[in-house]
Chain A
Amino acid sequence: MTRPPTTHAAVELQNLTKSFGLAKIIQGVDLAIDRGERHAIIGPNGAGKSTLFNLITGKYVPTSGSVLLHGENVSGKKPYQINRMGLSRSFQITNIFPKMTVFENIRCSLLWTMGYRYSFWHLIDRQNSVSQRAEEILDQINMVARRDELAGVLTYAEQRALEIGITIAGGADIIMLYEPTAGMSASETNYMVDLIRKVTEGKTLIVVEHDMGVVFDLADRISVLVYGEIIESDTPQKVRESTRVKEAYLGSVLEEAN
């Protein structure tokens, strides 16, 4: 892939490695993801997908190499600092504020980017712009009817949808989702894919996913991670045809998909 030299990729990984003790989980990953691209990372179990995800989002510190967001190195930065650089993520295990209402969950995720930060001189109920924006997001994720429920009592699929809402609410331009359809029925999965496509319109999306249907449906480009290395990074069509990928991993799954 070639890019104009003046603009930086949204996310760029340079010779990234990560070891836990003796185990080298990520062994030198180079990857550039353009702005506005929908990028999927797939790979067999134990390939290091979640480690890679946590490296990009700043939860783990790289052993060597670097992660650049819009050309800026993020290593050593705290999660909140990375978030303020425009990256927002979802989690492997549903990660919401269970004791707050759905509306309150969304509203909390708006506060920082709408400039309220640590304010103790605003009354939150009087900030109509925040409430309005929260209502809009509720509408986007189709949860207006559930706005006053406690997040903890929602169904699993609803909680995942809420988590997507929380992730995009702050207006980050890089959205990272971890297995957003894991554990969902076919109809729920279709619904979720549509939702993700809708709410990440115009944003950079990086998604780690198991479900091949979802991946080929959603992604502009797919990277295949095997044993901590990216063996292929190309369009869905090319990845589908790649013999290397077939050998390493996909074979049987793809035939089913065809």
Chain B
Amino acid sequence: MKHDTENSTVPSAAQPGRAPLIAMRSALPWIIAAVALALMPVVFASGSALTIMNQMAITIIFALAYNMLLGQAGMLSFGHAVYMGLGGFFCMHLLNQVEYNELYLPLPLLPLFGGLFGLIFAFVIGSFSTRRAGTVFAMISLGVGELIAACSIIIVVFFGGEEGVSGDRTMGPTVFGFDFASQLEVYYLTVIWLLLAALGMYLFSRTPIGRIANAVRDNEERAEFLGYSQRNVRWISFCASGFFCGIAGALFAINFEILTEENLNLATSGSILLITFLGGVGFFLGPVIGAVVFTLLQTVLSLYTELWQLYLGILFVLTVMFFPSGLAGLLAMHVRPWKIGKLGLLARPYVQIAGPGLIFVLASAAVLEILFHARHASIGAEQMSLYGISFNSHAVAPLAFALIVAAASLFIIARLAPALLEAWGDANHGDSP
């Protein structure tokens, strides 16, 4: 799972000739993923489901590309929306060329051009931003990101000012009879590019440069004394990441047919950091998990509460403090108990703690919701409804009740925690078979 350690199963040196390009065993997850993605529209057929899935696929590519920097090369960027956004803007102009100037460009090839634009910008900006790692790189990426986002309002010809640039994806030549007017056709186009891009990024991590990127991340001084210029290694990683960001940008252009300043700004750059970190930067699949969970949270939570960004912020800060390896890291923690056949030991304490845990989360959220409503409800609108119950948010009783429930569930969790820890210790104790 972890891309530093997983790679040790090299075919023994005695094996004659070269190993096959893709061994069946390592191809299997990709085939399963492809089949699952192909079948998704059968299960979730509605238009809004397709929109969410498209959005998810694009976010996954973007997050994976971002993690090529953060996870694999140890570079923290606060302005990475720029490469996806610029790729998208250029593709939008290409689409408009197709529409108005009869440029011959089949739509399925557009992401390739998006990638090239992303690559070109990463090459130019990376030429000075990758000279340093760490904090300096982070600050430069922030500054460049803000610069380009600010330029987008000034350079109206290219960025379209406040309203952005829009286009029509259906104006190109049809491919095998598809004109990509329907959501479903766009879904399959997006998903094919998702698989291609993910495979490309996965393979990149197993090339010499991909490995050396890890080495520079872990110990740049040592890597220099192995003959590698740390700056060049970072620059190449940055360009590769820019390429895949550009692909995501092109897919965004195809899906939404509009790009605005929002695609370039700090908020977008920040959320991709959040997504990637939540998912887990140390794992290839981490950003995928992050993108899926984030998109779901965003669409579902925002339906029910105005405070969803607050919850997300709390979740993010807690993740950084207590689970710096993210959701994928949490899952990976269970690999060992599973391998030694002791995962079952955890079932009981998990089930026991799940109830109070859920109640604690809901009650804490209730406290915040009631306080928020009490503070911001317009005069006369003191009734609020929460979890299907309607009550007066200005009264003391509901708030007190929620507080008591939260405190009580927290108390129960604290009582159950030692048993969980003990079970955790037992489940991890023992030899691997």
A124-B207 CB under 8 A given contacts A95-B219, A101-B5: yes
Cα A117 to Cα B207 with chains together (Å): 10
Chain B residue nearest in CB terms to A119: B208
Chain B residues with Cβ below 8 Å from A100 are 4-5, 214-215, 218
Query: Cβ of B236 < 8 Å from any Cβ of A?
Result: yes
Chain A residues with Cβ below 8 Å from B204 are 120
Cα A116 to Cα B209 with chains together (Å): 8
Nearest Cβ distance between residue B286 and chain A, in whole angstroms? 15
Cα A89 to Cα B203 with chains together (Å): 31
Contact of A99 (CB < 8 Å), options: B4, B18, B230: B4
What number of B residues sit within 8 Å (CB to CB) of A?
38
Q: How many A-B residue pairs have CB under 8 A?
A: 127
A112-B215 CB under 8 A given contacts A122-B208, A125-B10: no
Chain A residue nearest in CB terms to B26: A125
What number of A residues sit within 8 Å (CB to CB) of B?
44
Q: Are B222 and A126 in contact (CB under 8 A)?
A: no
Query: Cβ of B274 < 8 Å from any Cβ of A?
Result: no
Cα A121 to Cα B232 with chains together (Å): 16
Contact of A119 (CB < 8 Å), options: B203, B209, B214, B224: B209
Q: Are A121 and B207 in contact (CB under 8 A)?
A: yes
Secondary structure of the B contact surface, majority rule: helix
Chain A residues with Cβ below 8 Å from B228 are 80, 112
Query: Cβ of B210 < 8 Å from any Cβ of A?
Result: yes
Cα A131 to Cα B225 with chains together (Å): 21
Query: Cβ of A111 < 8 Å from any Cβ of B?
Result: yes
Q: Tell me the B211-262 residues at the A interface (CB within 8 Å).
A: 211-212, 214-215, 218-219, 221-230, 232-233, 236, 240
A122-B207 CB under 8 A given contacts A97-B219, A104-B7: yes
Chain A residues with Cβ below 8 Å from B203 are 123
Chain A residues with Cβ below 8 Å from B232 are 118
Q: Are A170 and B207 in contact (CB under 8 A)?
A: no
Query: Cβ of A113 < 8 Å from any Cβ of B?
Result: yes
A57, A108, A122, A148 pick with most chain B CB within 10 angstroms: A108
Provide 11 A-B residue pairs closer than 8 Å at the C-beta atoms, listed in order of the A residue.
Answer: A80-B226, A80-B227, A80-B229, A98-B218, A104-B8, A108-B215, A119-B208, A121-B207, A122-B207, A131-B11, A150-B5
Point out residues on A near B: beta carbons under 8 Å: 57, 78-80, 83-84, 88-89, 91, 95-101, 103-104, 107-109, 111-113, 116-126, 128, 131-132, 135, 147-148, 150, 166, 170
